[in-house]
Structure 1
Amino acid sequence: MRKGVWDLDNLPDKPRNHAVHKHWKSGLTGEAKRTPNCIVNIEQTGGNDYWGMSNVHPINEILK
């Protein structure tokens, strides 16, 4: 996979312990099976507190 500042190759192996994850609890992240060089993040949308997340954290922190 392409090398970048987000280190996407190791993203699925990292712990979900960022402060944003208090609002965004469920998530499965991994490399796409059919599309090369693509990361797929599947979220359980019912449990995500988008309003709380966007009102507590700046957008540049959410996108880290």
Structure 2
Amino acid sequence: MQTSRFWIVGGEYATTAFEKLIEGSEKVIGPYADRRTAEAAWRRLAEASRSQACVRFTIAAE
């Protein structure tokens, strides 16, 4: 049985088109053993950066 691991990835982008990360702002957080835990961490991170229009994070599965 193969299990997935989940990561939160993202950072601050140069524009709101979200095409290019600003160098040095990249973040990779994890791994998390299950999606529910990763989503809870993502929500906290998203809430903390809510006032920054060019900051975006997503959950990636391995």
Choose between structure 1 and 2: higher strand proportion. 2
Kindly indicate whether structure 1 or structure 2 has the higher relative contact order, using CA contacts under 8 Å at least 6 residues apart: 2
Q: Same fold (TM over 0.5)?
A: no
TM-score, structure 1 normalization: 0.23
Choose between structure 1 and 2: higher helix proportion. 1
